[in-house]
């Protein structure tokens, strides 16, 4: 069988084109291409070369419209055994092609050519065309003559013209030879044999039959020559005779041949005009041709004419091959395909399938064509040699489109000519034709895998490593779920093997593994956030940056145009990062040698990284790069160097894949099967690159780790800001954000301001004072939960920490671009300096309670300082040490009746030691009784209390110093500085509201500070206000307010003058304890005084009673068994005390029995006013107000 | 029962949504692949032929070697394609009609997305039973 047969091919003269000598293949191709258009030489053109020697047998030759047709066969072909049967199978002419520069010796050329011609005995005309001869050769060759034709060097057009002329000459010679042959055949007759004819000796009957047949066969052959000579009318006449004769003799084979020839003659005669009548005629005749060929097969011959039947079928199919007749053509082709089984010759089968595939292809049946193309490829693959494998590979490449397993490279090739036509609008919509269709077509996965596997196999055999790599990559990437792990490993090694045979750095259009999808575009890290600059405002950063914790604010709704598509700004020269997720769903370790972002815009330097992915795993990696120039950057995918080949992986493909997986249309989601969580579709934002900006970087001096503070600790931290950019910082502003902003006590904006402009490389140190907050106040869970979400919520990431927001910007106008207007100012930036404060629970406060202590005073010569219940007057001229002692030591003679302590119980759960120090700040305010003026804002420190780790301790804070000197309404007026005299207000009780009380308590509490320090540099304050307040709430009045009356006892010895100067009293402080002086002897008259002081600003009328009790608590003054005798009045002493004055009442006691006695004074106040009632907490106005003084001890010594 | 038969349902988008080898012949992988290739190629012919007739059953429309492709096209242009080597025309027609009923039941399932793969094992069992009965 021959390829590319058609009905008209019977009229083509086969010409062998042979290279003579050495002809470079490109030159040969060039010369051959010049020859090819000359396949049809009009008869009218050859008349000049034609000389009619005898009367031409082609009587009806159409000299004006006819033509000779040639079929050039490069390299010639083996003589066909069937060439007698169909003359167009004969090689009737030989054309040699010689490239003179490479074969200088023309003689040898001529000799070679004549040798070559010998293998074509059927050849009638032989010419050798020698191209590009030099002058000597021209001269030489001119003499040679013969078959050599020299083509002087000239341009192509001239050469073509020259060649055309030569071919006309060849055509004329052939025509003359045909005439000669026909005349000879008509006169003498020839023996025409086909392989069908029995080689055995014929019986006599058969000899007679054969003679008859010979006539018919001769007529048929003459008809063939007429056809070749371009005379269809003559041919038809001969064919008709031949058909008749063949029918008569039952020579089916030749009958069919003659019929075929007649159809060809008919078509040539009609000059390609087709109408339905002609079509029907052709169809009818051809069906009988096919029938006759079929009949001729009946005899059990060694050689089968089946191929002629199939060829005839194909010829008819080709003739009919139109969309409207698809059904008929399909029927013909199906029948032809059926014949393939019976074909013995493999190459015949190959040609048959090729032709069937071509015809289906021209019919528009792509899948049918692909099917037969694959059959062809299988036939090729059965031949176990490299050339066949190459052919198989090429053939299979044709099927990939129908099976949707195209290499991306071929898709681009296909799409380019489309664009050239100008259908760019239509193309833009489907830039990646694979995307949509392949998603839906992928369920023919069995077929696709088979085709790809065959491509891989043939590519390996053909030694085309790139094609093998590409096929293996497609197979692995698209069908990994259907391939066993062993198969996956096999493919991986196929990829590696192929890559070994490729030069390093080879690119392939088809990506293999891994699957890559865009994970996220991290916005700028908070350190380099870019803020649009509003030049119109002083605070240029306002409104452009996301401020506050809300994702959505109604005020930003107006600028919704950038909500749809994220905008991203990259800065020239600053590294950027993109997160991508890689997945290796296969069962082998995947080593990605390098992966980097693929940026086509050329203004981006990407940094490659290498990754290795274990089987069935996915990994999120960071790809980085540096924008190099201002403009727009688009990131369509990644360039991956894996399995030895460089490929580009587009994000879009994987997105489509995932989309298909979501709809259940594709096999599997590679990311999900690797256990990666589902990710929302990340769209590639518009990325624009802006010119360099300043870049502040910050670090905390002394380490960037978290600042570990105990609760309440105060510490100074220095933050170093450096300009790491290439542009100076010209504007800057600091603000606070985040939670716990009050933890930042102060920061020094002025220092930063004074350093502006901050040149590149310069740095400034910013002091910040921090105070740790209470751990319990902030829920630590909230920060952990939210930190997982992406960059939008990055404020939350810092959780409970406050941060410093530094907005800064470079110069308004870049020097290179002076005409940039206001709308085009370079953006500013925002630096977020998170203050990573880690607050450790420090000392923990367990409880606070108020303790009251009662020490009775001794009665001595000195009068207790009734006037000064604040009792700090003693410390006036003592140093601070004694002051401090005073605060905690109790003067036994003075007593401290009603002294109250605030007890703070603290525990230390940490593993360091804390020292507690309580300081009390005393305000020297409303105290007209205070005799010393140097008490302003005095602070009293108590000795340090050390609390070891895991221990508890109690700290006592005496509250006695807070008593007010005067009981008046000023306390209730909350005005400590109230006018001492005029502040009288009878309606104060109504104002005694809780709020005022609380304010007063706060005032008190604020004066108590519990500070601690631990180690070398940790110190802080304990926040105990609430606890103290709770403890004090109930008894604040007792703590703060003095009793309305104070009572005191004194021994009166020799000196009755009680008004000793204070200083003198003070000198006795140390010896007040000596018993000799203060003790009382029994059986002696002891003169005593009771002093009553009015602490109010009102006159108080009262009845005073003095009682004396022994240790048993019995009243020893009254009663039957009185052991104490007295003079003077002890009971019901009515007296009036003017405001803030004191009154003395003298009496004498006579102790009969030595021992301890207790003196106590009490008074019933008559006509009490509201202040007193409130103080006494009486409910009714009628209730008498009873005032009791503290007890005083008297030690009586002596003998009973 | 046919020795070789391959039944496949192709959705209107040319996706195979159901496929089963229903022949009695021992299964060979390359044969199964060939069956799919033949059926895939036959789609070209179905595509033309379906519009030339109002009948749903298109009879045998294509063949390769001794394997014949019979096709039944539903109103929604879903194609039931049977590759077989028997010539039991009536049986095939009945088979198609019954499979059509089964397919309609599948379509009536509100959870079934038309055009997606038929994964119902019940359907598969029924189809195989029908194949045993008719082919």
The better pLDDT of the pair A626, A966 is held by A626
Pick the closest to residue B5 from B40, B43, B44, B32 (CA basis). B32
Q: Is A976 a residue whose pLDDT tops 80?
A: no
The better pLDDT of the pair A1103, B2 is held by A1103
User: Which chain B residue lies closest to A445 (C-alpha atoms)?
Assistant: B16
The beta-strand segments (E) located in A600-685 are: 604-607, 609-613, 617-627, 631-633, 637-642, 645-650
Tell me if B17 and A440 make a contact (CB, 8 A cut-off). no
**Cβ(A942)–Cβ(A888) below 8 Å:** yes
Pick the closest to residue A835 from A1022, A699, A1018, A723 (CA basis). A699
For residues A328 and A317, give the distance between their C-alpha atoms in angstroms, rounded to a whole number.
8
Banded pLDDT at A889 (limits 50, 70, 90): very low
The better pLDDT of the pair A163, A80 is held by A163
State pLDDT tens for residues A441-479: 456 777 888 888 888 888 888 888 888 888 888 888 878
Q: Is A196 a residue whose pLDDT tops 80?
A: no
**Which CATH code for domain A511-546+563-690?**
2.60.40.10
pLDDT of residue A799: 63
Q: Which residues of B touch A479 (CB under 8 A)?
A: none
Cβ-count burial B100-133 (b if 16+ within 10 Å, e if not) = bebbeebeeeeeeeebebbebeebeebbeebbee
Provide the residue ranges of all domains of chain B, joining segments of one domain with +. Answer: 5-134
Write the DSSP assignment of A689-717 as a string of letters. EE-----EEEEETT-SS-EEEETTBEEEE
Q: Which two tokens stand for residue A150?
A: 């020299």
Distance of CA A1121 to the CA centre of its chain: 101
DSSP three-state, residue A650: strand
Q: Which two tokens stand for residue B79?
A: 């194609």
Q: Is A219 a residue whose pLDDT tops 50?
A: yes
Highest-pLDDT range among A990-999, A1103-1112, B19-28: A1103-1112
CA distance B133 to chain A (A): 28
The better pLDDT of the pair A979, A918 is held by A918
The better pLDDT of the pair A1192, A972 is held by A1192
User: Which chain A residue lies closest to B44 (C-alpha atoms)?
Assistant: A365
For residues B101 and B97, give the distance between their C-alpha atoms in angstroms, rounded to a whole number.
7
Banded pLDDT at A1162 (limits 50, 70, 90): confident
Pick the closest to residue A1128 from A1099, A1158, A1149 (CA basis). A1149
Banded pLDDT at A727 (limits 50, 70, 90): confident
| Least confident span in A253-267, A405-419, A766-780, A1025-1039 | A405-419
Helix H, strand E, coil C: the string for A998-1022 is: HHHHHHHHCCEEEEEEECCCEEEEC
Tell me if A365 and B63 make a contact (CB, 8 A cut-off). no
- A146: alpha, beta or left, given left = phi > 0 and alpha = psi -120 to 50? left
Banded pLDDT at A934 (limits 50, 70, 90): very low
State pLDDT tens for residues A795-823: 334 467 777 778 777 777 654 444 444 44
Q: CA–CA distance from A531 to each of A539, A568, B66 (Å)? A: 12, 11, 75
For residues A1111 and A1151, give the distance between their C-alpha atoms in angstroms, rounded to a whole number.
13
Fold of the A709-840 domain: Immunoglobulin-like (2.60.40)
For residues B104 and A585, give the distance between their C-alpha atoms in angstroms, rounded to a whole number.
37
The better pLDDT of the pair A963, A175 is held by A175
Highest-pLDDT range among A601-605, A875-879, B77-81: B77-81
ipTM: 0.91
Q: Which residues of A touch B17 (CB under 8 A)?
A: 443
Mutate to test the interface with B, among A444, A664, A666 (most CBs of B within 10 A): A444
For residues A629 and A692, give the distance between their C-alpha atoms in angstroms, rounded to a whole number.
10
Q: Is A371 a residue whose pLDDT tops 80?
A: yes
State pLDDT tens for residues A51-101: 777 777 777 778 888 888 888 888 777 777 777 777 788 888 888 888 888
Banded pLDDT at A430 (limits 50, 70, 90): very low
pLDDT of residue A421: 36
Tell me if B117 and A443 make a contact (CB, 8 A cut-off). yes
Tell me if B36 and A370 make a contact (CB, 8 A cut-off). no
| Least confident span in A498-507, A657-666, A902-911 | A657-666
Strand order across the beta sheet in which A1045-1051 lies? A1045-1051, A1085-1094, A1142-1151, A1124-1127
Write the DSSP assignment of A135-199 as a string of letters. HHHHHHHHHH-TTEEEE-S--HHHHHHHHHHHHHHHHHHHHHHHHHHHHHHHHH------TTS--
Minimum-distance CB partner of A367 among B16, B44, B49: B44
Banded pLDDT at A18 (limits 50, 70, 90): confident
Mean pLDDT of A586-590: 81
Q: Which two tokens stand for residue B51?
A: 């519009």
pLDDT of residue A126: 84
pLDDT of residue A427: 35
For residues A149 and A169, give the distance between their C-alpha atoms in angstroms, rounded to a whole number.
11
Mutate to test the interface with B, among A367, A375, A661 (most CBs of B within 10 A): A367
Residue pointed to by tokens 């008809």: A223
Q: Is A236 a residue whose pLDDT tops 70?
A: yes
Q: What percent of chain A has pLDDT over 90?
A: 0
For residues A955 and A951, give the distance between their C-alpha atoms in angstroms, rounded to a whole number.
13
For residues A709 and A770, give the distance between their C-alpha atoms in angstroms, rounded to a whole number.
9
Q: If interface means Cβ-Cβ distance under 8 Å, which residues of chain B face chain A?
A: 13-17, 32-33, 36-38, 40-45, 48-49, 52, 62-65, 113, 116-117
Write the DSSP assignment of A657-679 as a string of letters. HHHHHHTT-SS--TTGGGTPPP-
Q: Is A189 a residue whose pLDDT tops 50?
A: yes
Calculate the dihedral angle through the C-alpha atoms of A283, A287, A289, A290, rounding to the nearest 10 degrees. Answer: 130
Q: What percent of chain A has pLDDT over 70?
A: 70
For residue A645, the cross-strand partners are: A642
Tell me if A440 and B14 make a contact (CB, 8 A cut-off). yes
| Least confident span in A38-42, A988-992, A1020-1024 | A988-992
Tell me if A444 and B16 make a contact (CB, 8 A cut-off). yes
C-alpha angle with apex A188: A183 to A189, nearest 5 degrees?
A: 90
Cβ-count burial A488-516 (b if 16+ within 10 Å, e if not) = bebbbebbebbbeebeeebebbbbbbbbb
Highest-pLDDT range among A523-537, A545-559, A904-918, A1070-1084: A904-918
State pLDDT tens for residues A294-334: 777 765 555 677 778 788 888 888 888 878 788 888 888 88
Tell me if A665 and B116 make a contact (CB, 8 A cut-off). yes
Mean pLDDT value across chain A: 72
User: Which chain B residue lies closest to A449 (C-alpha atoms)?
Assistant: B33
CATH of B5-134, one of 3.30.450.70, 3.40.50.620, 3.20.20.140, 3.90.1150.10: 3.30.450.70
Pick the closest to residue A131 from A228, A36, A20 (CA basis). A20
Mean pLDDT of A874-884: 40
Tell me if B40 and A444 make a contact (CB, 8 A cut-off). yes
Taking residue A1055's Cβ as centre, other Cβ atoms within 10 Å add up to: 8
Tell me if A664 and B113 make a contact (CB, 8 A cut-off). yes
Q: Which residues of B touch A447 (CB under 8 A)?
A: 33, 36-37, 40
Q: Where in chain A is the domain with CATH 2.60.40.10?
A: 511-546+563-690, 1045-1197
The beta-strand segments (E) located in A739-785 are: 744-747, 763-771
pLDDT of residue A982: 37
State pLDDT tens for residues A1165-1174: 777 676 676 6
Classify residue A1128 as exposed, middle or buried by CB count within 10 Å of its CB (0-12, 13-18, 19+): middle
pLDDT of residue A278: 80
| Least confident span in A130-144, A598-612, A751-765 | A130-144
Mean pLDDT of A352-378: 84
Tell me if B37 and A447 make a contact (CB, 8 A cut-off). yes
Tell me if B41 and A370 make a contact (CB, 8 A cut-off). yes
The better pLDDT of the pair B12, A554 is held by B12
Which phi and psi (to 5°) does residue A982 adopt? -85, 0
pLDDT of residue A880: 41
Top CATH class, A1045-1197:
mainly beta
Pick the closest to residue B135 from B65, B60, B63, B85 (CA basis). B85
Q: Which residues of B touch A372 (CB under 8 A)?
A: 41
The better pLDDT of the pair A203, A748 is held by A748
Q: Which residues of A touch B32 (CB under 8 A)?
A: 446
């Amino acid at each position: 069988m021959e390829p590319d047969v058609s009905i008209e091919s019977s009229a083509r003269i086969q010409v062998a084109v042979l290279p003579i000598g050495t002809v470079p293949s490109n030159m040969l191709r060039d010369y051959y291409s010049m020859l090819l258009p000359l396949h049809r030489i009009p008869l009218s053109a050859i008349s000049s070369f034609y000389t009619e020697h005898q009367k031409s047998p082609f009587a009806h030759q159409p000299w004006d419209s006819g033509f000779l047709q040639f079929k050039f066969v490069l390299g010639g072909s083996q003589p066909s055994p069937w060439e007698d049967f169909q003359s167009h199978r004969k090689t009737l002419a030989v054309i040699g092609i010689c490239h003179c520069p490479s074969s200088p010796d023309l003689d040898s050329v001529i000799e070679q050519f004549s040798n070559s011609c010998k293998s074509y005995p059927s050849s009638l005309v032989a010419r050798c065309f020698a191209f590009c001869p030099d002058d000597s050769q021209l001269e030489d060759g001119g003499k040679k003559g013969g078959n050599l034709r020299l083509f002087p060097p000239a341009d192509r057009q001239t050469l073509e013209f020259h060649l055309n002329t030569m071919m006309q000459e060849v055509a004329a010679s052939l025509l003359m030879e045909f005439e000669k042959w026909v005349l000879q055949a008509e006169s003498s007759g020839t023996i025409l044999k086909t392989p069908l004819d029995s080689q055995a000796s014929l019986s006599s009957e058969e000899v007679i039959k054969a003679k008859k047949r010979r006539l018919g066969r001769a007529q048929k052959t003459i008809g063939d020559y007429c056809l070749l000579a371009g005379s269809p009318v003559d041919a038809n006449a001969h064919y008709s005779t031949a058909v008749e004769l063949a029918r008569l003799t039952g020579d089916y084979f030749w009958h069919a041949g003659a019929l075929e020839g007649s159809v060809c003659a008919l078509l040539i005669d009609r000059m390609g005009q087709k109408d339905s009548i002609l079509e029907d005629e052709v169809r009818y005749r051809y069906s009988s041709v096919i029938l006759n060929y079929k009949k001729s097969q009946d005899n059990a011959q060694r050689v089968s004419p089946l191929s002629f039947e199939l060829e005839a079928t194909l010829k008819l199919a080709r003739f009919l091959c139109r969309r409207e007749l698809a059904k008929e053509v399909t029927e013909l082709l199906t029948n032809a395909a059926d014949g393939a089984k019976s074909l013995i010759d493999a190459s015949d089968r190959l040609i048959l399938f090729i032709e069937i595939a071509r015809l289906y292809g021209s019919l528009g049946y792509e899948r049918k064509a692909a099917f037969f193309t694959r059959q062809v490829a299988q036939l090729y693959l059965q031949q176990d040699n490299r050339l066949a494998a190459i052919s198989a590979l090429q053939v299979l490449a044709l099927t990939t489109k129908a099976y949707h397993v195209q290499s991306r490279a071929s898709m681009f090739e296909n799409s380019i000519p489309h664009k050239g036509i100008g259908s760019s609008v239509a193309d833009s919509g489907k830039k990646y034709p694979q995307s949509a269709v392949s998603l839906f077509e992928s369920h023919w996965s069995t077929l696709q895998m088979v085709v790809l596997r065959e491509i891989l196999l043939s590519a390996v055999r053909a030694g085309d490593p790139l094609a093998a790599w590409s096929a293996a990559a497609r197979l692995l990437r698209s069908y990994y779920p259907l391939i066993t792990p062993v198969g996956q490993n096999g493919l991986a090694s196929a990829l590696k093997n192929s890559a070994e045979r490729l030069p390093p750095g080879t690119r392939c259009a088809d990506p293999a593994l891994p699957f890559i999808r865009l994970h996220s575009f991290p916005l700028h890290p908070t350190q380099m956030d870019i803020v649009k600059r509003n030049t119109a405002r002083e605070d240029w950063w306002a409104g452009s940056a996301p401020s506050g914790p809300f994702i959505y604010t109604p005020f930003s709704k107006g600028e919704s145009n950038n909500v749809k598509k994220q905008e991203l700004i990259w800065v020239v020269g600053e590294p950027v990062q993109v997160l991508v997720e890689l997945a290796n769903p296969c069962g082998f370790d995947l080593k990605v040698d390098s992966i980097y972002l693929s940026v086509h815009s050329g203004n981006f330097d990407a940094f490659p990284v290498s990754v290795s992915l274990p089987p069935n795993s996915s990994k999120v990696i960071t790809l980085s790069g540096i924008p190099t120039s201002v403009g727009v950057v688009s990131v369509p995918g990644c360039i991956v160097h894996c399995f030895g080949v460089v490929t580009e992986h587009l994000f879009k493909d994987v997105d489509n894949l995932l989309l298909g997986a979501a709809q259940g249309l594709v096999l599997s989601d590679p990311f999900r099967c690797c256990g990666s969580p589902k990710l929302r579709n990340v769209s590639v934002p518009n990325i624009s690159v802006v010119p360099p900006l300043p870049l502040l970087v910050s670090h905390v001096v002394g380490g960037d780790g978290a600042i570990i503070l105990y609760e309440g600790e105060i510490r100074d931290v220095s933050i170093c800001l450096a300009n790491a950019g290439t542009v100076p910082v010209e504007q800057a502003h600091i603000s606070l954000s985040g939670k716990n902003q009050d933890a930042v006590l102060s920061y020094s904006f002025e220092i930063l301001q004074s350093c502006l402009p901050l040149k590149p490389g310069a740095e400034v140190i910013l002091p910040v004072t921090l105070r740790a907050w209470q751990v319990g106040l902030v829920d630590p869970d909230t920060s952990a939960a939210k930190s997982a979400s992406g960059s939008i919520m990055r404020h939350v990431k810092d959780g409970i920490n406050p941060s410093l927001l530094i907005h800064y910007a470079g110069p308004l106008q870049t020097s290179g671009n002076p005409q940039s207007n206001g709308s085009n100012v370079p953006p500013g930036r925002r630096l977020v300096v998170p203050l990573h404060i880690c607050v450790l629970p420090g000392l923990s406060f367990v409880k606070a309670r108020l303790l009251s202590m009662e020490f009775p005073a001794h009665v001595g010569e000195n009068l207790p300082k009734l006037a000064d219940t604040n009792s700090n007057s003693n410390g006036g001229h003592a140093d601070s040490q004694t002051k401090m002692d005073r605060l905690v030591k109790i003067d036994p003679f003075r007593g401290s009746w009603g002294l109250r302590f605030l007890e703070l119980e603290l525990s230390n759960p940490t593993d360091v030691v804390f020292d507690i120090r309580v300081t009390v700040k005393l305000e020297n305010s409303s105290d007209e009784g205070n005799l010393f003026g140097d008490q302003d804002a005095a602070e009293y420190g108590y000795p340090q209390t050390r609390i070891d780790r895991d221990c508890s301790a109690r700290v006592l804070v005496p509250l006695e110093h807070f008593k007010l000197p005067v009981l008046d309404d000023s306390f209730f007026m909350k005005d400590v500085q109230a006018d001492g005299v005029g502040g009288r207000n009878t309606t104060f009780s109504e104002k005694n509201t809780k709020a005022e009380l609380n304010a007063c308590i706060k005032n008190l509490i604020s004066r108590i500070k519990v500070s601690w320090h631990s180690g070398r540099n940790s110190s802080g304050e304990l926040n105990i206000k609430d606890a103290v307040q709770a403890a004090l709430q109930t008894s604040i009045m007792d703590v703060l307010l003095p009793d309305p009356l104070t009572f005191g006892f004194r021994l009166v010895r020799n000196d009755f003058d009680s008004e000793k100067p204070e200083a003198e009293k003070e000198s006795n402080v140390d010896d007040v304890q000596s018993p000799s002086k203060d003790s009382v002897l029994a059986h002696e008259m002891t003169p005593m005084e009771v002093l009553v002081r009015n602490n109010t600003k009102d006159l108080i009328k009262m009845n005073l009673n003095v009682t004396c009790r022994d240790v048993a608590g019995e009243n020893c003054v009254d009663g039957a068994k009185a052991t104490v005798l007295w003079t003077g009045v002890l009971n019901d002493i009515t007296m009036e005390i003017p405001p803030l004055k004191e009154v003395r009442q003298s009496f004498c006691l006579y102790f009969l029995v030595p021992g301890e006695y207790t003196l106590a004074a009490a008074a019933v106040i008559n006509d009490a006013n509201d202040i007193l009632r409130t103080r006494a907490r009486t409910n009714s106005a009628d209730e008498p107000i009873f005032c009791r003084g503290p007890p005083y001890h008297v030690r009586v010594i002596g003998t009973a | 029962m046919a020795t070789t038969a391959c039944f496949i349902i192709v959705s209107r988008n040319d996706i195979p949504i159901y496929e089963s080898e229903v022949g009695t012949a021992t299964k060979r992988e390359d044969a199964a692949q060939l069956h799919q290739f033949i059926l895939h190629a036959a789609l070209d012919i179905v595509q033309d032929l379906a519009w030339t007739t109002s009948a749903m059953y298109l009879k045998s429309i294509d063949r390769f070697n001794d394997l014949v492709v019979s096709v039944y096209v539903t109103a929604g242009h879903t194609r039931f394609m049977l590759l077989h080597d028997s010539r039991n025309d009536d049986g095939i027609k009945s088979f198609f009609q019954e499979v059509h009923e089964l397919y309609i039941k599948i379509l009536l399932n509100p959870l079934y997305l038309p055009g997606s793969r038929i994964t119902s094992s019940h359907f598969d069992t029924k189809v195989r039973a029908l194949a045993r009965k008719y082919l």
